[in-house]
Amino acid sequence: MTNITSQMVSDLRQRTNAGMMDCKKALSEANGDMERAATILREKGITKAASKADREAKQGIIDSYIHLNGVIGVLLQLNCETDFVARTDDFKALSKDICMHIAASNPLFVSKEDVPENELEKEKEILKKQVLAEGKPEKIVDKIVEGKINKYYEDVCLLEQAFVKDPDKKIKDLISEAIAKIGENITVGRFARFGFNR
């Protein structure tokens, strides 16, 4: 098994414009072979999705989901580039899946970038105190906290959460697959989750 270095991941990212985790997974699957990894990313449609990420998504739909027992409701703004795509079954199915996921997983933010700085700092402080209380050496505390912050993002950020219907896939992967299939940039504008069980 080839050791996948951060330089290899960075090189593949430069070449394909795909995300870091996608590049790392592809390199692992290709046993370090750069050409094969690039092909894997193309086959999965990830490079195609990444190349559309800069395009503006000003159309879309506002979708809703009410859980069967009526105690949880979700409103979602899902954006795409054209109203034609917004009316397609594939786009609507993606929207429904994301609505149901929000109902089940209760994210607080759309992405990492949406987490307020003061909230992030507060979380880091709490985690640092926990790690120090566990008796970990001072010199590795920051590294451990960094790993725990990534876990925090997976708990509170919609795009970083594991998809409830397929936990091997994050919501951002689900969206990337849809972008590759549909051929337009797709973004989550915003969402609201209402419930009695927060």
What confidence tens digit (pLDDT) does each residue in 150-162 have? Answer: 999 999 999 999 9
Are the beta carbons of 17 and 54 closer than 8 angstroms?
no
Q: Which residue stretches of the chain are H helix?
A: 6-16, 20-29, 34-43, 46-51, 83-86, 89-105, 117-133, 138-156, 171-182
CB-neighbour burial class of residue 5 (10 A; exposed 0-12, middle 13-18, buried 19+): exposed
Q: Which residue ranges form the domains of the chain, and what is each CATH number? A: 6-51 (1.10.8.10), 59-110+157-195 (3.30.479.20), 116-156 (1.10.286.20)
In whole angstroms, what is the distance from residue 129 CA to residue 141 CA? 9
What pLDDT band is residue 11 in, cutting at 50, 70 and 90?
confident
Are the beta carbons of 70 and 103 closer than 8 angstroms?
no
Q: What pTM does this model have?
A: 0.70
Q: Tokens representing 2?
A: 């080839």
What confidence tens digit (pLDDT) does each residue in 22-45 have? Answer: 888 888 888 888 888 888 887 776
What pLDDT band is residue 142 in, cutting at 50, 70 and 90?
confident
**What pLDDT score does 35 carry?**
86
The percent of residues above 70 in pLDDT, for the chain, comes to 92
In whole angstroms, what is the distance from residue 55 CA to residue 63 CA? 22
What confidence tens digit (pLDDT) does each residue in 88-131 have? Answer: 999 999 999 999 999 999 999 999 999 999 989 999 888 888 88
